[in-house]
């Protein structure tokens, strides 16, 4: 009897051991797969022509080329302009704008330092390494206190261009994420209604899906001309896209 139950116990342990091995193997498999995905992402990233170009040209992120393409298509940013950069960290868009507002005599037709012909005001939740001449506020664009700081910095001036690359941390819950994106774009449009020149422009990032149609509608209600644009620098796999609004339908509340 004792021998039989000992054998049963050993068999039971054996089964348990086999189950354990299977679980570990399954876990290892998942780990290997995710490593493969990370490797593929890293490979894509390292070989990405815009990543290579950003490194060569001293931009903090490949995102600079998205704004560059949009700007070149619509001729938005010109020397002397007041530009507001919403969701600016790590700073590639501000760097691009800074170069556009620098004298054309500087190396490369614009400079990262030195004379700046115009103003750049930037805001982000995250810190941003300083860029010479760029006034940066760290905080939430959704908070009234931050809106007040931006207004104070503008000092009654109206912006020529407002650009927003703001993207919320995605939760993966589609409806919640769509609502967050929608909220940020609505706030950017609202900001323009108080602080953008009548002939000014707003560029926003948004995503295909949930909030896209209502946001196009909002843009059409707010701007004379509305152009969607997916720059080549925006990855095909990404649902991100951009809307450009030109010329406010209602005149900004702040007086020049
Ligand atoms: C894609 S990144 C911007 C990249 C930037 N345009 C560049 O060229 O370096 C999006 C940024 O939006 C910021 N953001 C998201 N929600 C925000 C909010 N409510 N207020 C301020 N910034 C926000 C994030 O912190 C993040 O840094």
63 lines ligand 1 (CB under 6 A): yes
123 lines ligand 1 (CB under 6 A): yes
**What is the set of active-site residues?**
205
Query: Which of 89, 149, 162, 164 should be mutated for ligand 1, with most atoms under 8 A from CB?
Result: 89
Average pLDDT estimate for 179-195: 95
Compute, in degrees rounded to 10, the torsion defined by CA atoms 242, 148, 84, 81. 140
Give 83-136 as a DSSP string.
EEEES-TT-HHHHHHHHHTS-TTSGGGS-SSS--SSEEEEEESS-----TTEEE
Q: How far is the CA of 180 from the centre of ligand 1 (A)?
A: 13
- pLDDT, residue 39, reads 75
% of residues, the chain, pLDDT over 70: 81
Q: Point out the least confidently predicted range of 14-18, 42-46, 138-142.
A: 14-18
pLDDT band at 250 (very low <50, low <70, confident <90, very high): confident
Question: Global pTM?
Answer: 0.84
145 lines ligand 1 (CB under 6 A): no
Higher-confidence residue of 46 and 68: namely: 68
Ligand 1 atom closest to the CA of 94, numbered from 1: 8
- pLDDT, residue 23, reads 37
């Amino acid at each position: 009897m004792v021998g039989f139950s000992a054998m049963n116990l050993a068999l039971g342990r054996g089964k348990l051991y086999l189950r354990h091995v299977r679980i570990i193997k399954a876990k290892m498999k998942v780990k290997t797969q995710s490593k493969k995905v990370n490797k593929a992402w890293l490979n894509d990233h390292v070989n990405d022509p815009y990543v290579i170009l950003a490194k060569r040209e001293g931009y903090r992120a490949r995102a600079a080329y998205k704004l560059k393409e949009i700007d070149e298509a619509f001729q938005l940013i010109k020397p002397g302009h007041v530009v507001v950069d919403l969701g600016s960290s790590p700073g590639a868009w501000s760097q691009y704008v800074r170069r556009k507002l620098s004298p054309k005599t500087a190396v490369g037709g614009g400079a990262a330092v030195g004379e700046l012909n115009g103003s750049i005001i930037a805001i982000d939740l995250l810190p941003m390494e300083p860029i010479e001449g760029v006034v940066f506020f760290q905080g939430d664009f959704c908070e009234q206190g931050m809106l007040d700081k931006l207004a104070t910095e503008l000092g009654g001036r109206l912006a020529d261009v407002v650009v927003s690359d703001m993207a919320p941390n995605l939760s993966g819950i589609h409806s919640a994420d769509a609502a967050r994106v929608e909220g940020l774009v609505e706030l950017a449009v609202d900001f323009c209604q108080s602080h953008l020149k009548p002939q000014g422009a707003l560029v926003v990032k948004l995503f295909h899906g949930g909030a896209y149609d209502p946001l196009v509608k909002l843009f059409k209600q707010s701007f004379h001309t509305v152009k969607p644009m997916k720059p080549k620098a925006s990855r095909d796999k990404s649902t991100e896209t951009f809307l450009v609004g030109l010329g406010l339908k209602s005149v900004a509340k702040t007086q020049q």
